[in-house]
Amino acid sequence: MKKIQFFSAGLIALIITSCSTVPLTGRKQLSLIDEAAIQQEAAQAYREFLNDPKTHVVNGTADANRVKRVGANIAAAISRYMQQNGYGDKYNYNWEFNLIQDKSINAWCMPGGKVAVYSGILPVAVNDAGLATVMGHEIAHAIAGHASERASQGAGAQILGGVLTGGSNSTLGQLYGLGGGLALLKFSRTQESEADRLGLIFMAMAGYDPNTAVSFWQRMSQASQGGAPPEFLSTHPSDATRIADIQKRLPEAMKYYKK
């Protein structure tokens, strides 16, 4: 019993001393996994994904250039804000933005700013503001350290259960299901809501009107009607509640908006 009490006390102390704070939202999160290490894994996984014969990267087209331009605008805005508000170069990632020829309605951003936008989501995005909405949301997951947080939660559960795993499987691989393809990380509802909030702010910082995000999510909702939801929405359904929450967040985001 004493050993269990000692173990529990040690775990609580570890969790208390291993917390970080999400920029702008101020939410405290568990941080047991080294962010630099997971970003390194992400860079390697991203490179393998791009080099996979099944992956068709689009280069030089108007759409490919648009993905790079909108992504670069958001990244630059985030970097400026973070440097001006005492974060230094912590979020000055080695950003990469690529358009993938794939009919899936999908987009994602891995830790460290490795972004992929699938061509299937472009008709839903419609314009630069719509593209900024989806990219801002996915980039927010990276800036908020959601992948590291989920990995930390998993590590905490393993410790609590007394199960110590070896290093044979990468942290990122376990989270994303890397292997034959790149799967979406299943974020929690709290993280998805936070990504919505931060995504609005990031697109506003970059000069995209956050009010246009409402129509984008309405189009995403319509895309899921009459069948299975798009892959992009597989872990976070777009519904009236979500849109209403985004509308409530607009006054906050507009504080950062400069035309």
Catalytically active residues, by annotation = 138
Residue bearing tokens 């951003």 = 109
Q: What is the 3-state secondary structure (H, E, C) of the chain?
A: CHHHHHHHHHHHHHHHCCEEECCCCCCEEECCCCHHHHHHHHHHHHHHHHHCCCCCEECCCHHHHHHHHHHHHHHHHHHHHHHHCCCCCCCCCCCEEEEECCCCCCEEEECCCEEEEEHHHHHHHCCHHHHHHHHHHHHHHHHCCHHHHHHHHHHHHHHHCCCCCCCCCCHHHHHHCCCCCCCCCCCCHHHHHHHHHHHHHHHHHCCCCCCHHHHHHHHHHHHCCCCCCCHHHCCCCCCHHHHHHHHHHHHHHHCCCCC
Please say whether the beta carbons of 235 and 229 come within 8 A: no
Q: To 10 degrees, what angle do helices 240-254 and 189-205 make?
A: 40
Cα 140 to Cα 23: distance, rounded to the nearest angstrom: 10
CA 75, 44, 184, 87 torsion-angle sign: negative
